[in-house]
Amino acid sequence: MVDDDRVFKALADPTRRLLLDLLFERDGRTLTELESRLDMSRFGVAKHLRVLEEAGLVVTRRSGRTKLHYLNPVPIQLIHDRWIDKYTEGPASMLADMKKTLEGER
Amino acid sequence: MTAPTTQIYQVFIKASPERIWDAIVNPDLTEHYFHGSRIEITAERRVSRGPDGTLRGDGWVAEYDPPRRLVHEWRPMYDPDLAREESSRVTWEIEPHEDGYCKLTLTHDNLEGAPRTAQHVSGEGWMFVLSGLKTLLETGGRLDGANARADATPRHASTGS
């Protein structure tokens, strides 16, 4: 329910990351709208959305007869706080900055 | 990109519904995670004040159903640009789950007449408040500055309140 495993597993799939990006672009979309942006069956998209929902990354709301999908960014923030912040200090941060600077110069 | 006019944030917190409710309506607790604001919420009004007593927000309360559901007006006063916009609405829902966890869902909607406010509260805005609330209830710590990370020593919940 609350474990990081579900979030990591949900994020491990490129289609699910794409779905999150689509919701970030515009929140509160229906399955039909999301499906139209992917080369995948309605059933397949629904399955991915369910995994995202179980991981808490997507929250659904009913609006009349339609179900809207909303991005919930909190689990990613918590993972960031727990797993990323502490490793990005010091040398790792310096290398990341260096990469950014060098790649930005191209 | 414009911020969405309906925003939903959800977080699991290991605390009872009553403790979570108290942390939302009790100014002695809100000041630890809500940008230092002392927020008092009654069945009628939600009044938010800064540490120096200046008014940061004042709005009506539409639903007050402890410890499950709270709906209030969002009328920010801490910034003149935001204060000029139409007011919006915030809904807090607390649902108990297994293992002593509760699911807290915050919905900020009716933001159609308040694009600047929508931008201001989106992303890190509510996220910072909710992760601070979670930290306060689960460890008694504050999520700001030096305490934000790696402070594994659980402090007593009443410290500093």
Domain boundaries, chain B: 7-139
Q: Which residues of chain A fall below pLDDT 70?
A: 1-2, 90-92, 105-106
Sign of CA dihedral A55, A56, A57, A63: positive
A46 and A4 belong to one structural domain: yes
Out of B1, B9, B98, whose CB is closest to A72? B9
What is the rounded CA–CA span in Å between residue A31 and residue A49? Answer: 9
Both tokens of B62, joined, read 């539409």
pTM above 0.90, yes or no: no
Residue A93 lies in domain: 73-106
Query: For residue A35, what are the CA distances in angstroms to A41, A44, A62, A63, B30?
Result: 7, 9, 18, 18, 41
Interface contact B123, partner A, CB < 8 A: yes
Counted domains in chain A? 2
A32 and A79 belong to one structural domain: no
Four-way CATH pick for B7-139: 3.30.530.20, 3.30.56.10, 3.30.70.1170, 3.10.150.10: 3.30.530.20
Assembly ipTM: 0.76
pLDDT in tens, B71-116: 999 999 989 999 999 999 999 999 999 889 999 999 999 999 999 9
A38 and A68 belong to one structural domain: yes
A78 and A99 belong to one structural domain: yes
Contact between chains at B10 and A2 (C-beta distance less than 8 A): no
A67 and A103 belong to one structural domain: no
Interface contact B127, partner A, CB < 8 A: yes
Buried b (16+ CB within 10 A) or exposed e, B151-160: eeeeeebeee
A80 and A63 belong to one structural domain: no
What is the rounded CA–CA span in Å between residue B74 and residue B89? Answer: 5
- Collapsing DSSP to helix, strand or coil, B144 comes out as coil
